[in-house]
């Protein structure tokens, strides 16, 4: 893992960079040692063209709002200074990289790969971890219990912040795979031994059993797609 990572998201005028669509918003969140830093990058960009109706419905940005914003040429140096040397983390990376490369080429700069050593595509990562499942940002937020209730429209900085949390959830535990645990001493093993015959078993009361069943009913209802509660599946 790179020492410095940048979680990046863009909003655009449409879906086709090759047909002239442009970047209208860039949002970046910095990760240092798997922690979100306070140093982020966020710019709105005047695309110098109209915005497709379908795209506007997704992000809510209008040509009128962007009319007085800087052009990409005006922010290009600040953007490159911010991301240079970092590993990029992008959801559906091919889309954003194509748009950024086009913007950089229009102002005479090199492709983003010349400034950043590598790109992690969290969509590809999620598809590998969860084959056959929905792996859009909203679906991943739901899967990993990341609150996105405030996300009524797409926004580059908000989506980058959510993606940072999703990435940390997707990769959580990887560092523990290389840890080696010391073998317990014989004394520790002996001390841990318990004579099961000497244990006192306390049975649940009728009220406690009823409360338990009520909780299992709630779990069955909320986790119906996953087969209900594990307890009842094991009992069955």
DSSP3 helix / strand / coil % (the chain, rounded to 5): 50, 15, 40
Distance, in Å, from the CA atom of 191 to the CA atom of 98, rounded to the nearest integer, reads 62
Catalytic residue among 59, 130, 150, 154: 154
| Chain center to CA of 25 | 18
φ, ψ of residue 7 to 5 degrees: the values are -90, 120
- In terms of phi and psi (left: phi > 0; alpha: psi -120 to 50; beta: otherwise), the region of 228 is left
- 154 given a catalytic annotation: yes
Residue 105 buriedness (CB in 10 A; 0-12 / 13-18 / 19+):
exposed
Q: Which amino acids are annotated catalytic?
A: 154
């Amino acid at each position: 893992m790179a020492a410095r990572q940048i979680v990046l998201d863009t909003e655009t005028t449409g879906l086709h960079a090759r047909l002239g669509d442009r970047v209208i918003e860039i949002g970046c969140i910095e990760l240092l040692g798997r922690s979100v830093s306070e140093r982020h990058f966020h710019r709105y960009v005047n695309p110098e063209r109209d915005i497709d109706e379908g795209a506007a419905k997704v992000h809510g940005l209008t040509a009128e709002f962007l009319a007085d914003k800087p052009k990409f040429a005006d922010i290009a140096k600040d953007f490159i200074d911010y991301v240079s040397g970092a590993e990029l983390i992008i959801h559906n990376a091919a889309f954003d990289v194509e748009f950024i490369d086009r913007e950089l080429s229009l102002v005479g700069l090199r492709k983003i790969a010349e400034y950043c050593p590598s790109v992690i595509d969290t969509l590809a990562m999620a598809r590998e971890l969860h084959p056959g499942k929905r792996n859009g940002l909203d679906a991943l937020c739901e899967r990993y219990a990341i609150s996105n209730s405030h996300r009524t429209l797409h926004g580059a900085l908000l989506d980058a912040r959510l993606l940072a949390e999703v990435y940390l959830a997707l990769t959580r535990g990887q560092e523990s795979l290389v840890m080696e645990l010391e073998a317990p001493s014989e004394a520790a093993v002996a001390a841990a031994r318990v004579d099961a015959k000497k244990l006192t078993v306390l049975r649940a009361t009728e009220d406690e059993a009823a409360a338990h069943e009520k909780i299992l009913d709630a779990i069955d209802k909320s986790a119906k797609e996953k087969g209900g509660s594990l307890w009842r599946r094991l009992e069955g």
